[in-house]
Amino acid sequence: MLKPVFQLIGLVVVIAILLLAVLFYLDGKGLLTGELADFIGSLRALFEQIKSVVTSFVHESGIADDAADLLDEGADMLRGATPSPAQDGAPAATNVPVAVATPAP
């Protein structure tokens, strides 16, 4: 029931992004004039401010460093440079058969 609604919302978002991309391109080439050019120029300035705020937050909070460390750790595990938990000295699980008593009929 809700699937068509979400598909419609997704389609509207994609169309809006494509329209903004075309308008930004035209503004960058100097092909827009008037109020539309002013509006797109202010949107471009707003996006630049948002980009700088998000970038500074990512660098100051250490999220970028944490993500880079996790990527390095994952790459090391894929290369086999990092020992797996079973090789770290932790007891490994073993398949030991367990006797089960069954009642006699």
Locate the domains of the chain by residue range: 34-73
Structure confidence at residue 92 (pLDDT): 57
Compute the average pLDDT of residues 82-98.
61
Residue of 101 and 44 predicted with greater confidence? 44
Q: For residue 36, which of 20, 50, 49 has the smallest C-alpha distance? A: 20
| CA 59 – CA 38 distance, rounded (Å) | 32
How many alpha carbons fall within 13 Å on the CB side of residue 64?
Answer: 8
Q: Is pLDDT above 60 for 66?
A: yes
Q: Is pLDDT above 90 for 98?
A: no
| CA 39 – CA 19 distance, rounded (Å) | 14
DSSP conformational letter for 86: G
| CA 21 – CA 17 distance, rounded (Å) | 6
Is the Cα dihedral 3, 9, 12, 14 positive or negative? negative
Total count of residues recorded for the chain: 105
